[in-house]
Each structure stands twice: as C-alpha cells, then as structure tokens.
Amino acid sequence: MTTAPQPRDRFVTARGARLHYVDWGPAPIPGGGRDVVLLHGLRDTARNWDPIAAALRGRYHVHALDSRGHGDSEWVPGRYQFQNYVGELGDFIEQLDLRDVFLVGHSAGGKYSFCYAADHPERVAGLVIVDMDPDAVNPGSGNMVACYRTESDEYDDLAAVVERLRSRSPRATDGLLRHLAAVMTKPLPNGKLAWKRDREVVLQYERPDAWGYLPRIAVHTLLLRGADSPLLRRDVAERMAKAIPYCALVEVPNAGHWAYDEAPVAFLQSLGVFLDGMSARRG
C-alpha cells in the first residue's frame, strides 16, 4: 500500500517578513501541471486549503501561502497594510520564479490576488477570485470584522473551536471542522487554544476601494460566489464580471462565504474545469 507524499513546510522572506508556505509538490505528469498559488482570507491559514490542495496536486504544483501575521508566518506588528500583502505575494512569486501561475484567492486573499494580477499579467496565467468584492465598505465584511475584533482569541478546547467554525460554515462536515480547528490554532501555556494569527492583523485590516483594478485584469478570470454568501452579493458579483474583461461568474450552490468548506465537490468541479481549460488553452 502506497501513501501520497506529504506536503512540505517551506519559508521565504518577503517585505521584511518570514513567510511560511505549504509546498504540495510537483504534479507527477511529465511536463504538465502549472503552478497554483492558494491564498487564504482574513484570520485563516494556508492549511485551510488542505482538501483543495490535495485534490489538485495530481495535476498541478500547489503552493499554499500563509500571509504575514497568519498561520506559521512571522508576526510583524505595524506592517499589515494592504499594499504589504499585495507586495509580499509579488515577492513570493518572484523568489520562487513562478511564471504562468494560477492565482486562487479567497476573501481578502482574493483581493490581493486580483490587484497583483492587474499589475503583473506577465506572471499570471489565470485568476480565481473566491467570494470577494472590490468595495471599500461592505456590510457583510464589516459584521465579520466587528465580530473578530470583539471575540476572545482563546478557546477552552478543540470542541469550542469546532463550534466557532461551525457558526461560519454550518454545512461543513464534522471531520473537516475538526481538521480546521486543529490547523488554525496553537496550544497556550494555560492549556487553552488560540488562533494562529496576530490580533493586530484584524485591528489594522484595510479595505481599500479596488474597482479600478478590475478593468485592467488582462487574464482569464473565474469569479466564484457562494450562493448564500452574505459578503459577495449577487448584484456586486455581476458588476464585477462585467468590469473584468475576460470573466466567468459561477455560483456554488448550498454554500456561503467559505464555499470550499461547505460544498467542496461543487467548488472543485468549477475550479477544476477552469484550471484544466486554461492549461489546455495555453498548451
């Protein structure tokens, strides 16, 4: 019986921060498998992508990045401005010398991705924006951030973390929620668990208006929206799809903002069709 090789933890330094990423290894197909970079959202980690990365690794070389202040990347208080996140993505891509890369970004990671893609089409083969808008003000996002800023960082045990995650992704399986609870937290000396992120990340979170970037995105783009998402409204998603020159809008049914957790099969089907189609197009 053979087992799939385990992903490797790797590190790079970008914009003054030591960044952790998970390298899922090259695709085993000779000459095949473009690079895919997965970017998480606010308060999440590279390991949130584990099931998606594992499903893609047979056809693509997958890299899942921990943004500064998240997961196992360095905490750099005072340096969590929006442009630092976009800049560190560019530094990461350049240091790994990735070319014709597919960017897949969820939530805040989606915004960093489309801003980078607009300015660097020579590096990007395709773009996937997962449930993120370009607005400076968004009631759904505002409610989430307000909750993040007021709730405790500490939990008594793993079961308490699971229930917190269930409140945001009620249709995710128990097994997935337990996995996420484990990879998103770290033990404290007092026996409790804490989120693996710097609290200043939330306190300093910036949400600039980014509509001006959309018409400049010169690569084919897939915009994935959770059909029940309170963050990316359907009317906003439709406006985005019209503003981006080459964009397809797909709604993931029975899913909210974390569509890849709640409806992974449908999410992967849409993602796979796009990535495989773009790979075939580019040869």
Q: In this model, does residue 144 exceed pLDDT 90?
A: no
Q: What is the pLDDT of residues 228-274, one digit of tens each?
A: 999 999 999 999 999 999 999 999 999 999 999 999 999 999 999 99
d(CA 242, CA 180): 35
**Residue 269 CA: distances (Å) to CA of 85, 177, 207, 274:** 29, 21, 30, 9
Q: Report H helices in the chain.
A: 50-56, 82-95, 108-119, 139-150, 158-168, 174-183, 199-203, 234-243, 259-262, 264-282
Q: In this model, does residue 222 exceed pLDDT 70?
A: yes
**Residue 16 CA: distances (Å) to CA of 24, 76, 80, 81, 182:** 25, 8, 11, 13, 28
pLDDT at position 132 is 98
Phi, psi of 12, deg, nearest 5: -135, 165
Mean pLDDT of the chain, nearest integer: 93
Of 273 and 144, the one with more pLDDT: 273
Phi, psi of 193, deg, nearest 5: -115, 145
pLDDT at position 140 is 78
Q: In this model, does residue 277 exceed pLDDT 70?
A: yes
Q: In this model, does residue 11 exceed pLDDT 80?
A: yes
pLDDT at position 2 is 43
Q: What's the full length of the chain, in residues?
A: 283
Taking Cα atoms as reference points, which of 249, 245, 248, 272 lies closest to residue 260? 272
CATH architecture of 8-138+210-282: 3-Layer(aba) Sandwich (3.40)
Q: What is the pLDDT of residues 39-55, one digit of tens each?
A: 999 999 999 999 999 99
| Structural contact between residues 39 and 113, judged by C-beta atoms closer than 8 angstroms | yes
Cβ neighbours of residue 251 closer than 8 Å, sequence gap 6 or more: 224, 225, 226, 227, 234, 237
| Structural contact between residues 174 and 186, judged by C-beta atoms closer than 8 angstroms | no
Q: What is the pLDDT of residues 169-215, one digit of tens each?
A: 999 999 999 999 999 999 999 999 999 999 999 999 999 999 999 99
Task: Judge residue 21's burial from the number of C-beta atoms within 10 Å of its C-beta, 0-12 exposed, 13-18 middle, 19 or more buried.
Answer: buried
Task: State the pTM of this model.
Answer: 0.95
Q: In this model, does residue 33 exceed pLDDT 70?
A: no
Segment among 30-34, 77-81, 175-179 with least mean pLDDT: 30-34
Q: Where are the domains of the chain?
A: 8-138+210-282
